Amino acid sequence: MANRDQESPPLRTGPSSIAPGVSPGPGVSPGPGVTPGPDVSPGPPEARTPGSRRGRMLADSAAVEEWPVWLEVNGEPAVTWMCTPGQLEELATGWLHGEGYIETLDDLVKLRPCATDLGFWAEVKPERVALVKGEDRRRVLASGCGAVSTFLADPPAVRHAVARGEPPPPEIQRALFKELFARGVRYNETGGIHAAALTDNATLQFHAEDIGRHNAVDKVIGAAVIARQPLAGRGLLVTGRISAELAYKAARAGLAYVATPSVPSTLALTIAQRSGMVLVGRAVSGTPHIHRPDA
């Protein structure tokens, strides 16, 4: 494990209560069973008008943070993300959920950060690890975010399910995306980062930004798991294309739909069709493309 050098991003030191077994972040005293430990986050942004693009015009200084962060599961190396260093506990928790290591926070016995390096040790229930290993996954290079399991992109691995729900009308969806972009501090400063948020079709929930679109999705799903908030039936807004891996994460979480200003991939459509999930492409246009499971 490499030591963090002087150019690494600073570690946060303030504790916060997230959930039993999950290391806290800043701002709130930890509760019973919480393992105090550092997290990584950039400093607070300079005061600015929400939705402004002032920083994007500073071409010489605009850059998106990117750092390697590792995760070990029950003592074995599991993944190294190239990611934006913020909401890392949420990222780890969401990734564990998307890969099948946990279904609820109760499956995550402990999540402990390394004090000198950007990484985490996760302890999950042994039976969950056995289930994942029993799938005998091979590693492939995915469409944009590094090595992921071929299992995620394998349509036969997705169980058939009934339709989970409908997205809101186009005008409401456009308003939700407008809020998503307005909340994006890094997006408005650089124009070079992805964002994701869960929604109940009325408000945005658990917004996150990351250099990788899959990382942003893991962060918002992980935030919901940590907060013990329901995922089933919620919608997911993403700024990038809907790939097979992203669709599988959403399907495993029980989400009703995924919407993007971009488009879905063909494998994502197949996964959504089998899982009962709606995909919405060109969601901010006047004529969004709605792909329903029964279409």
* Tens of pLDDT, residue by residue, the chain (295 residues): 433 343 444 343 333 333 444 544 333 333 333 344 444 444 444 444 544 444 444 445 678 899 999 999 999 999 999 999 999 999 999 999 999 999 999 999 999 999 999 999 999 999 999 998 887 666 666 665 544 444 454 666 677 888 899 999 999 999 999 999 999 988 888 888 999 999 999 999 999 999 999 999 999 999 999 999 999 999 999 999 999 989 999 999 999 999 999 999 999 999 999 999 999 999 999 999 999 997 5
Identify the DSSP state of 259. E
Give φ, ψ of 266 to 5 degrees: -65, -40
Is the CB of residue 152 less than 8 Å from the CB of residue 100?
A: no
Cβ atoms of residues 264 and 242 within 8 Å: yes
Give me the phi and psi of 191, to 5 degrees please. Answer: 70, 10
Between CA 272 and CA 267 the distance in angstroms is 9
Q: In angstroms, rounded to a whole number, what is the distance separating the alpha carbons of residues 153 and 132?
A: 15
Query: How far is Cα 9 from Cα 209, in angstroms, rounded to an integer?
Result: 17
**Bridge partner list, 263:** none
> How many separate helices (H) and strands (E) can be counted in the chain?
7, 14
- What are the helix (H) ranges across 62-125? 88-98
Given 71, 145, 216, 280, the catalytic residue: 145
Helices (H), the chain: 88-98, 126-134, 170-183, 185-190, 213-226, 244-253, 266-275
Which residue in the block uniquely carries the two structure tokens 């929400």?
50
The Cα–Cα gap between 125 and 279 comes to: 33
Which tokens is 206 given? Answer: 């658990």
Closest CA to 66 of 120, 145, 184, 180: 145
According to DSSP, the β-strands at 11-12 and 39-40 are antiparallel
- The total of other beta-carbon atoms located within 10 Å of residue 138's CB is 7
Is residue 83 flagged as an active site residue? no
How far is residue 295's CA from residue 276's CA, in Å, rounded to a whole number?
11
Q: Taking a C-beta distance cutoff of 8 angstroms, is the pair 258, 217 a contact?
A: no
